[in-house]
Amino acid sequence: EDKVVQSPLSLVVHEGDTVTLNCSYEVTNFRSLLWYKQEKKAPTFLFMLTSSGIEKKSGRLSSILDKKELFSILNITATQTGDSAVYLCAVGNSYGGSQGNLIFGKGTKLSVKP
């Protein structure tokens, strides 16, 4: 059964800290791995990593994909209170009728204290 496991499930840090969020997966016919930030309701897209793009960076956020070891990390440097959210990892497969469907992990709840 395909699955995505995120760790830790929750994390509390202080402003200015650097955090690393982890995502491991077991998915048949891997196609892509996506990171989302969920603050209130709607998950907002952060990054998509594929075989042709295993490292992405945007401002203080960066992510890498290790297809050999089947995991990804999301790094946030110089954290701010506005980074407080649930970070979701999702993996898309490339097989048949479910091609492109996303399987989500449970998320990591990040709390950044002033």
Rounded CA-CA distance 29/63 in Å is 21
- The residues in 46-105 that bind other proteins, with binding defined as CB under 8 A, are 48, 88, 90, 92, 94, 97-102, 104-105
Q: Which residue's CB is nearer to other proteins, number 2 or number 17?
A: 2
Binding to other proteins by CB under 8 A, coded x per residue (else -) over 4-43, reads x--------------------------x--x-x---xxxx
The two three-digit tokens of residue 42, written as one number: 């709607």
Shortest approach of other proteins to residue 78 CB, angstroms? 25
Q: Which residue's CB is nearer to other proteins, number 40 or number 114?
A: 40
Rounded CA-CA distance 50/40 in Å is 27
Question: Residue 31: which H helix or E strand, with range?
Answer: strand 30-38
- Cis previous bond, 43, omega within 30: no
DSSP 53: B
The footprint of other proteins (CB under 8 A) covers 4, 31, 34, 36, 40-45, 48, 88, 90, 92, 94, 97-102, 104-107
